[in-house]
Amino acid sequence: MLGWDACGQVEALGEGVTGFAVGDWVYYAGQTDRHGCNAEYQAVDARLVAKAPASLNPAEAAALPLTGLTAWEALFERLGYEPDAREGNATKPLLIINGAGGVGSIALQLCRWAGIPVTATASRPESQAWCRQMGATEVIDRAALVDLPDNRFARILCCHDTDAYFNLMSRLVAPQGLVCALAGTREKHDLQPLMNKSAGFVWEYMFTRSQHQTADIARQGDILTELARLVAAGDVKTTLTNTMAGLTAGNIAALHERQEAGGLIGKQAVTQ
């Protein structure tokens, strides 16, 4: 399964599909049990789709769905923040580990919009500058995490290696706080340090709704519609930083190699 989030033009509609018309530009993140978007044509569950932001070109829009959905679900469904600027959010400081990555870059923008005070980790000067541009309240080198006091953050969102940061997050999360991780683990971890804090550990996996056909599967289309509204209002911008023209096997391989090399800021896209 290669090719996740995408932006394309509707060529045909399935039986019973409403809200879309042939010719509409739409964007989505796909699902794990269908062929991906590294192809000229793709069949997508309409409940996972929304009309693409009109102010963005297809490559810019294609860079948003997977990271946008993941960031939204992590912040507002897993970690308990309230969408839009709310006073309650201001009392729950957040740590985002790997703020300059794809998910972190969108999460920082949503934090700024929702009034969430957020500290982001970034190691290089260019990635630190990017985090500030995206909306970080504070940016620190990831190496500095070990020097922070216990119980510093009400919420923690780990957008990097869960294994590498688990023990540190257990120390830094505040009593009655929450830790949310995106990356699966290869090691076993001790949850006991979270027990006397009454702190919780939760996962965010963007494909849960489509993979398990949950009753609220259409919520992903709703979230993408809301993200498009935020793009139109100027509260969220695309995090596309690299585009390659030509949907070829060679170009796709080159983009994957660049991704796997690490050190990327933002997202990459390939256009037809």
pLDDT at 265 over 90: no
pTM of model > 0.85: yes
pLDDT at 35 over 70: yes
Q: Are strands 25-28 and 6-9 parallel, antiparallel or unpaired?
A: antiparallel
Fold of 67-206: Rossmann fold (3.40.50)
Whether 227 and 236 have beta carbons less than 8 Å apart is answered as: yes
Whether 267 and 63 have beta carbons less than 8 Å apart is answered as: yes
Q: Are strands 267-271 and 240-245 parallel, antiparallel or unpaired?
A: parallel
Domains 6-63+216-271 and 67-206 share a fold: no
Domain-wise residue ranges, the chain = 6-63+216-271, 67-206
Q: Which two tokens stand for residue 25?
A: 């530009």
The pLDDT tens digits for 197-230 are 999 999 999 999 999 999 999 999 999 999 999 9
Q: What is the pLDDT of residue 86?
A: 79
The pLDDT tens digits for 91-147 are 999 999 999 999 999 999 999 999 999 999 999 999 999 999 999 999 999 999 999
Class of domain 6-63+216-271: alpha beta
Q: What is the pLDDT of residue 1?
A: 59
Q: Are strands 267-271 and 138-140 parallel, antiparallel or unpaired?
A: unpaired
* Percentage of residues of the chain with pLDDT beyond 90: 90
Query: Can you tell me the mean pLDDT for 241-269?
Result: 89
The answer to whether the Cα torsion of 193, 203, 181, 96 is positive or negative is negative
Question: Over the chain, what is the mean pLDDT?
Answer: 95
Of 9-13, 86-90, 161-165, the range with the lowest mean pLDDT is: 86-90
Q: What is the pLDDT of residue 264?
A: 78
How far are the Cα atoms of 23, 52, 107, 133 from residue 9, in angstroms, in the given order? 6, 10, 27, 31
The pLDDT tens digits for 153-192 are 999 999 999 999 999 999 999 999 999 999 999 999 999 9
For 62, list phi and psi in degrees, rounded to 5: -65, -20
